[in-house]
Structure formats: structure tokens, C-alpha cells
């Protein structure tokens, strides 16, 4: 006997032979209780309390077991139940957690702790077979291996999808992509002013304007042509160079300043502008709220903040690309502004746009206009 499971194990052997003796050493296992002794006796299993000192026999011939008092208990077979331990230098090196295997209060050994599809405590590592289920027979282990393989493939699918998302976001939101895009085309945008800026700024008295996400300068050049002193920000140096060349060609170079900056980390410092505008700048994961806070900090008292973007419903038109969370409704931006400091108006404005051979498609612009009170 090596554990409290000894009675059960002795009764298993009793199925194969009538000559079974259960040898119990209290240093290794408890004596069977009264109920267990009754069951063993009823099945003809002898119970002997003694210590086993050695196995006695000659090569090829087992004699029995020498007991602590020197007697030899004759036997044709000696059976000792060991504990099952999950041992793997590989798993240990990866830090994979193990746990005790219990039958009631008896610890039977250890196993690698696994969850759905053999997932272990270490992401990307799955286990199957007896290291995870010590009692599993071949068919069960094979089935667990199949499930673990499916789990591993599922992990790879997720990894590939995350990599694709990262690449997609890089394509939309990273400077190298935009530099390449501008460099590959003579003009990416129409060069005309965006319609909501024209509608909102047409009657404003010229002053200092900040155009964020200026691109090739269509909005900045329109403002400069109306007497505004314009600072234009963009993170594409290629776009800024092209915009500066167009400003010079149109005779408004002295009214424009082109600054290379990523608005996600930009700080206006002590500078203030009477008009701060951002037209169709979109960021992933709700990043526009933080951007609007930055833009708001650049507006002079009494000045205007104008933020315009594609409404998420435009994705259904086929003219917009990306994910819904990359776009915004105007009310999504309200947390960026303190109502005590701003007079805020939000609106969704419909207009007709033609692109990619689709004439007269109705699109919706998200518009936030705010006047700084203090």
C-alpha cells in the first residue's frame, strides 16, 4: 500500500486472482477503515500490517518480500502503485503550471493544468496525453491531441488576424504609408476646399488658422486666399512639400507655414489660433477624443474649433473604407470639451458625392463646431 487508494487497488487485483495480500506500512499509507476491512475480508483479501524491506528472489524467479521482522512473505507477483508525475524539461523551461491530481482526498500525482482545447497557463502552449490526463488511454489521448491541435491552429488564426489588423492600421494611420501614397500620385486629393469648412469659415473674419491633417493643402490654400495666416500640420513630409509648392505657385506662400507633426503627440505650447480645423482626420480606437482635446487647447478665447469627419453610416455607401470604430459621430467627440468653456454645436450633414464611377451617392458628414467662451 502506498496511499489511501490501496483498498481499491487490492480489490482490482482480486478480480484476477483469489490469492491477494495487502501489505500495509503505516509510514506509507493508512490502515483500511472498518468498512474497507469488511469488504476486503468478504472478498478473501488478506491484510498484513508490516514493513516491506526487500524483494527476495533469484534471477528469473521471484520468491516474495522480506518483511521488517525478517520473515519472507511468499508471492508470485509484487505490485507497488507509484504516483504519476507530469515531468517535462520543455514544459518546465516554458513555465507551464502543473497541479495535483486527486481522487477524493488522495493525491494521485500531478498533471499539466489544461483548459479548453488543451490550453496551458502559457499562451500558445497546449498539452495533451498523459502529461495532461494521467488516466487517459490511447484513444482518449489521441482525441485530446486532436483538440489541442485545433486549439493551436485557432491560436495561429488569431495571431494571423491580429497581424493583419496591425498591417491594416499601419496602412491607414502610419506616416510611411502616407508618404508612399503621396509620392506615388501626382495628387491624392482634389485640391478643393472641404465643403463643411467652406460653409463654416466663409463669413469668419480672417485671423490665424491652424489646419490639422492638412494633406496636400487644399483647405489651407483656400483659407490663405481669403487672407488667413495659416499654420498647416501633417505627418507626411511628402504632402507638406507638395502643399508648400502649390502655395508658392498660387502666391500665398507668405501666408502659409507648413509644419511636420503627428497630432497624436503634438502640443501647441503657448500658441493660439482663432480658427482650428481638422477635416476628415480619423484615428483608430477612439483616438479622436484625445486629438480634439489637443486641438481645443490651441483655440484662442472667442475662437472656433471645427472638426469634420465621415459618419460611420457612410461605410454602407461603398465610398468609405476601414472599420466602423475608425469613423465617428459628432456626439462621440463631446467628452473632449468642457461645456463651461465651450458653446458646442453638433450636426450630421448630408451631401452628394461622386466617386469610383458612382454618381450622386449621398454621404453624411459628422460636424462639431465649438466656440471657446473663455
CATH code of the domain covering residue 326: 3.40.50.150
Residues 197 and 222 in one domain: yes
pLDDT of residue 356: 60
Residues 334 and 227 in one domain: yes
Q: How far is CA 311 from the centre of its chain?
A: 26
Segment holding 165, helix H or strand E: helix 138-173
Asked if pLDDT for residue 352 goes beyond 80, the answer is yes
Residue 236 in domain: yes
Q: Name the band, by pLDDT with cuts 50, 70 and 90, for residue 372.
A: very high
Domain of 65: which CATH number? 3.50.50.60
Joined grid coordinates for residue 333:
467627440
Q: Where a domain ends, among 112, 142, 171?
A: 171
pLDDT for 220-258, tens place per residue? 999 999 999 999 999 999 999 999 999 999 999 999 999
Residues 199 and 279 in one domain: yes
Give the range of the structural domain holding residue 319, as residue numbers without chain letter: 179-372
Q: Where a domain ends, among 149, 171, 193?
A: 171
Mean pLDDT of 259-270: 95
Residue 232 φ then ψ, to 5° = -115, 130
Report the candidate in 215, 211, 217, 220 with the shortest Cα–Cα distance to residue 182.
215
Mean pLDDT of 35-50: 96
CA Rg value for the chain:
39
Residue 245 in domain: yes
In 10 A of CB 102, how many CB atoms?
Answer: 10
Residues 325 and 245 in one domain: yes
Q: How far apart are CA 320 and CA 353, in angstroms?
A: 11
Residues 226 and 368 in one domain: yes
Residue 216 in domain: yes
Residue 357 in domain: yes
Asked if pLDDT for residue 320 goes beyond 90, the answer is no
Q: How far apart are CA 111 and CA 67, in angstroms?
A: 34
Residue 1 in domain: no
Number of structural domains in the chain: 3
Beta bridge pairs of residue 370: 305, 344
Q: Name the band, by pLDDT with cuts 50, 70 and 90, for residue 54.
A: very high
Amino acid at each position: 500500500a502506498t496511499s489511501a487508494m490501496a483498498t481499491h487497488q487490492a480489490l482490482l487485483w482480486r478480480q484476477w486472482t483469489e490469492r491477494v495480500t495487502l501489505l500495509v506500512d503505516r509510514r506509507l499509507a493508512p490502515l483500511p477503515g472498518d468498512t474497507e476491512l469488511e469488504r476486503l475480508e468478504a472478498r478473501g483479501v488478506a491484510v498484513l500490517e508490516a514493513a516491506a524491506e526487500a524483494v527476495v528472489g533469484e534471477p528469473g524467479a521471484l520468491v516474495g518480500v522480506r518483511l521488517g521482522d525478517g520473515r519472507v512473505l511468499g508471492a508470485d507477483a509484487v505490485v507497488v502503485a507509484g504516483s504519476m508525475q507530469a515531468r517535462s524539461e520543455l514544459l518546465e523551461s516554458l513555465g507551464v503550471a502543473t497541479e495535483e491530481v486527486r481522487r477524493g482526498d488522495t493525491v494521485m500525482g500531478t498533471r499539466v493544468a489544461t483548459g479548453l482545447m488543451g490550453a496551458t497557463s502559457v499562451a500558445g502552449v497546449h498539452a495533451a496525453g498523459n502529461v495532461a490526463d494521467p488516466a487517459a488511454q490511447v484513444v482518449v489521448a489521441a482525441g485530446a491531441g486532436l483538440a489541442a491541435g485545433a486549439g493551436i491552429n485557432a491560436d495561429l488564426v488569431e495571431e494571423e488576424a491580429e497581424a493583419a489588423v496591425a498591417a491594416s492600421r499601419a496602412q491607414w494611420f502610419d506616416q510611411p504609408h502616407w508618404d508612399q501614397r503621396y509620392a506615388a500620385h501626382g495628387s491624392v486629393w482634389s485640391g478643393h476646399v472641404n465643403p463643411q469648412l467652406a460653409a463654416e469659415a466663409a463669413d469668419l473674419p480672417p485671423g490665424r488658422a491652424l489646419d490639422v491633417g492638412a494633406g496636400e493643402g487644399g483647405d489651407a490654400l483656400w483659407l490663405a486666399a481669403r487672407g488667413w495666416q495659416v499654420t498647416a500640420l501633417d505627418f507626411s513630409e511628402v504632402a507638406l512639400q507638395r502643399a508648400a509648392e502649390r502655395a508658392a505657385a498660387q502666391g500665398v506662400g507668405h501666408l502659409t507655414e507648413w509644419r511636420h507633426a503627428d497630432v497624436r503627440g503634438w502640443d501647441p505650447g503657448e500658441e493660439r489660433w482663432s480658427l482650428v480645423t481638422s477635416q476628415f482626420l480619423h484615428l483608430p480606437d477612439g483616438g479622436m477624443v484625445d486629438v480634439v482635446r489637443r486641438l481645443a487647447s490651441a483655440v484662442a478665447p472667442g475662437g472656433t474649433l471645427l472638426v469634420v469627419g465621415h459618419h460611420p453610416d457612410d461605410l454602407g455607401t461603398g465610398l468609405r473604407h476601414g472599420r466602423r470604430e475608425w469613423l465617428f459621430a459628432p456626439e462621440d467627440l463631446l467628452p473632449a470639451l468642457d461645456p463651461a468653456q465651450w458653446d458646442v454645436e453638433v450636426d450630421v450633414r448630408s451631401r452628394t458625392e461622386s466617386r469610383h464611377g458612382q454618381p450622386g451617392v449621398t454621404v453624411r458628414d459628422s460636424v462639431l463646431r465649438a466656440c471657446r467662451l473663455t
